[in-house]
Amino acid sequence: MLALAAGPASPADMLAARMQMGLSLGWHIILACLGVGMPGLLLFVEWRAVRTGDADRMLLARRWAKAIGVLFAVGAVSGTILSFEMGLLWPGLMDVYGQVIGVPFAMEGVAFFIEAIFLGIYLYAWDRLSPRTHLLSGVPIAIAGVSSAFFVVAANAWMNQPRGFDLENGRVTRVDPWAAMFNPATPPQTIHMIVAAFMVTGFATAGVYAVALLRGRRDRYHRLGFLIPFTLGAVLSPIQIVVGDYAAKFLAEYQPTKLAAAEGLFATRSHAPLSLGGIVYDDALHYAVEIPSGLSMLVGFSPATVVQGLDRVPSRDRPPVNPVHLGFDTMVGIGFFLLLLSAWLALNWWRRRDLPRSPWFLRLAAVAGVAAVVAVEAGWIVTEVGRQPWIAYGRMRTVEAVNPAPGLWAGFLIVVLVYVVLTVATVYVLRHMTRTTPVPAVAPQERA
């Protein structure tokens, strides 16, 4: 364990801490999304199999259950790394505010253990329980997965809107952990993230079967494996657009500097344009495609709405604009790509009750799974980088929270090695599972 040293951290160690945390969060969030969405998708498929005696759906359920077991085990490792990193890399934050944000972290731990217990029952008692009892044993897994995401994102929301305490002479007093957890940023962030998790699950799972369909595996099993998760993602796509608009309006009111960075808006003004693309240099956004008054309309439903720009805050209090702006455009652009792809399937299904005949649909559907993951990663870049230079918005700077001990680069390199091994092992195991002959699906009525 690293010991705190006197004096602030060097810029190099500050960079190492941020890179290590960014790598850990970026890697873990993929598994976290699947951990939130896959149990619900699995239970739906098993429920339909139990009701109809459908062997193909039961086979899907059994295969997805095995994949969930693998992903849960790997996610437990990356989640443990993250929990240690909060104390090792950011002791300044935890020392001052640990008692304020400790409740959501503790409740996330409880949700994790509930999920682990019932996942063990679900996986190992499949043929020892009645169909109804086995299905019910999976319900706590789905609830715990969503709850875990809620508690973690609520803690992150507190970092964007610190609440639930008073600060007197540099010391935290009168702590209200519930006010801290249910801060103004909690509703938009948790809803946005949980919907995104189900979308990633839907499109990523469907992408696997889209590749199989492109390779000529057109049997009912693979068609169901594609249609069920893709429908989940398709249904949520327009909902996520609405939720995203809600989150943007929240930023306009509570974190206008982050919204200004996301839009590359330097001057406070009415008739603010909506900027697509472009790059920032010389304190201006260049080469962007602008929709006149678009941002003012989105924020206040009127071209006359005044939108705060980056000129309202000193340069030292501004986040890096390029990664925030490009991350925001990437997230929104992919969101509309997924919406259009979903509309393509919906229109074709309404007309023919079948998949689109064009192979380009399946090619784009295969890409959609990766694109959904990229959108989530881009969204977290906006959330985390857009808050800089604050680790607790307006309360504590990131440089004040980082561990000043030297040698953080060594820790970063070790973590890189760990994630390389985890990635290779996870991909190998999952690919091996797809190549093995599946266990024959047992019709539900044949079980005791």
Contact 441, 59 (CB under 8 A): yes
* CA 178 – CA 186 distance, rounded (Å): 11
Residue 240 domain-assigned (yes or no): yes
Mean pLDDT of 146-174: 88
Q: What is the predicted pLDDT for the residue at 435?
A: 64
443 — pLDDT class (breaks 50, 70, 90): very low
Number of domains composing the chain: 1
204 — pLDDT class (breaks 50, 70, 90): very high
Domain that holds residue 85: 11-436
Residue tagged 């803690």 (tokens): 155
Q: What is the predicted pLDDT for the residue at 436?
A: 56
The pTM score is 0.90
Answer whether residue 318 shows pLDDT above 60: yes
Answer whether residue 216 shows pLDDT above 90: no
Answer whether residue 369 shows pLDDT above 60: yes
Mean pLDDT of 399-406: 84
Which residues contact residue 416 at a Cβ distance below 8 angstroms, ignoring those fewer than 6 apart? Answer: 23
* CA 250 – CA 252 distance, rounded (Å): 5
Residue 292 domain-assigned (yes or no): yes
What sign results for the dihedral spanned by CA atoms 238, 240, 242, 248? Answer: negative
Over residues 426-439, the pLDDT tens digits come to 888 888 776 655 44
Residue 21 domain-assigned (yes or no): yes
Using CA atoms of 102, 105, 110, 111 in order, give the dihedral in degrees to the nearest 10. 150
Q: What is the predicted pLDDT for the residue at 169?
A: 77
Running DSSP on this structure, what letter comes out for residue 126? Answer: T
85 — pLDDT class (breaks 50, 70, 90): confident
Residue 200 domain-assigned (yes or no): yes
Mean pLDDT of the chain: 87
Residue 441 domain-assigned (yes or no): no
Q: What is the predicted pLDDT for the residue at 41?
A: 93
Over residues 26-72, the pLDDT tens digits come to 888 988 899 899 999 999 999 999 888 888 889 999 989 988 888 88
Over residues 329-358, the pLDDT tens digits come to 999 999 999 999 999 988 888 888 777 778
- More confident call, 169 vs 234: 234
Contact 154, 186 (CB under 8 A): yes
Instruction: For residue 352, give the H/E element and its range.
Output: helix 321-352
Residue 3 domain-assigned (yes or no): no
Q: What is the predicted pLDDT for the residue at 322?
A: 92
Q: What is the predicted pLDDT for the residue at 17?
A: 86
Contact 439, 43 (CB under 8 A): no
b/e code 284-310 from CB counts within 10 Å (16+ = b): ebeebebeebbbbbbbbeeeebebbbb
Residue 447 domain-assigned (yes or no): no
448 — pLDDT class (breaks 50, 70, 90): very low
Residue 430 domain-assigned (yes or no): yes
How large is the greatest C-alpha to C-alpha distance in the chain, in angstroms?
72
